[in-house]
Amino acid sequence: MGQLCGKKDYSPDGVSERKPRKNYEVVRFFMAGRGSAGKSTIIRHLKYLCTKNSSYKYCNEDWTEANPNDSDDDLWKRTIRASIIKALDVFIKEAANEKLELATESLKEFAATIENLAEDEGEIENLDLTEDFTTHLLELLEDPAIVGARNLKNKLSGNIALFDGLNYFLEPEKLKEVFAPEYVASEPDRVHGRLPTTGVHRYYFMLNRIRIEIYDSGGQASEVQKIFNHLTKWNTGAVSKRNFILFVASLADYNVPHPSLEKETMLNDAAAFMHLLLNNDHTRHCGLLIFFNKKDRFLEKMADPACRDDIKYIQGLSEDEVKKYVEKGRFREHVMINAASKPFVDYLRSEHSDINSYSRDTCAIDPNIMNTFYEVIRKEILNETISSVLP
């Protein structure tokens, strides 16, 4: 269930003996996080689960059932194709940077086409999606130069970040499907895709009789600047006594340098942002649920020899743990995850120990873990079993 934290420490063993409260009180979550922490993906997964489990319902504002598949098909088609084209453009440039040359002249010409498309996204809509185009895409991916560049994806030049669901789309059969003229994005495609949230959105879910409202404040730079205004509006006039900050942080950002603060990472920046958020008058009455997200990408980076020197960014490890990792690449998953989340734990211990808090490490594109998220809400939060994240 992950680590637990806060002033109340209820035993989970007692939860199963209690009956859930039969009321229609709304549990409200103000969702926040930095950049591409995975907030939108979490929402899409919750919607997707509503199509797979009759106990889960996606709702309108008045709590009548809504269609979870209400996204624009054309928008998703354009977005997914553009994301793949941009990723291929990154690999082409990385190959050139590493002095890796494409095998044939025809592939070099096709690579130039991809670079032009990445520069002018509008032209992607006008693509002539012939069988030759898809064949060249597959040949490009299999070229040794691009394979070499893909192997460097966790340490790309210029700290360029690829979207986390990329590998899913680079499977040959999926690639053929996406660039077929009749393509319509499936729900799993949308979950693995990247569609940044702009503006404020409210989402309503029901688990049996449990009403859950998630207020997504956005995560792009322009939205983060407005977050405290959003927080004031969210809190003003609230009648529910069950209010929580749902903070999403990407563990995979442990080695992503901050663009302007030397020696700081984006994960440390997220911890500092959470600290500011919890110091606000409008959050003092709220509980806290932290999602340490993108566990899969974090562990992938930890297992990548190219990222081994980045252990310097993770504090709180024993000398023995560091030595084993640096010399042999050996590590214990839970130890590394706990160490990466240490900046958040330190803030909670020193500044916010009076807040009822709960955390879990997760992966937004794993439906089993997201199903557990619903169970956490039902059994842990609604039955007042919020415990401590502090070790």
User: Which residues of the chain form beta strands (DSSP E)?
Assistant: 26-33, 56-59, 201-207, 210-216, 243-250, 287-293, 357-361
Does 225 count as an annotated binding residue? no
User: Which residues of 111-241 form beta strands (DSSP E)?
Assistant: 201-207, 210-216
Does 3 count as an annotated binding residue? no
Does 77 count as an annotated binding residue? no
Does 296 count as an annotated binding residue? yes
Does 220 count as an annotated binding residue? yes
Does 40 count as an annotated binding residue? yes
Whole-angstrom CA distances from 77 to 53, 133, 175, 182 are 26, 17, 12, 10
In angstroms, rounded to a whole number, what is the distance separating the alpha carbons of residues 87 and 81?
10
Does 293 count as an annotated binding residue? yes
Please state the φ and ψ torsions of residue 365, each to the nearest 5 degrees. Answer: -105, 25
Angle, CA of 94, 340 and 10, to the nearest 5°: 145
Strands 243-250 and 287-293, sheet pairing: parallel
In angstroms, rounded to a whole number, what is the distance separating the alpha carbons of residues 17 and 383?
11
Does 197 count as an annotated binding residue? yes
Whole-angstrom CA distances from 357 to 199, 278, 290, 311, 386 are 27, 11, 8, 28, 6
Does 237 count as an annotated binding residue? no
Q: Which residues are annotated as a binding site?
A: 40, 197, 216-220, 293-296
Binding-site members for GTP are 216-220, 293-296
Sequence ranges of the binding site for Mg(2+): 40, 197
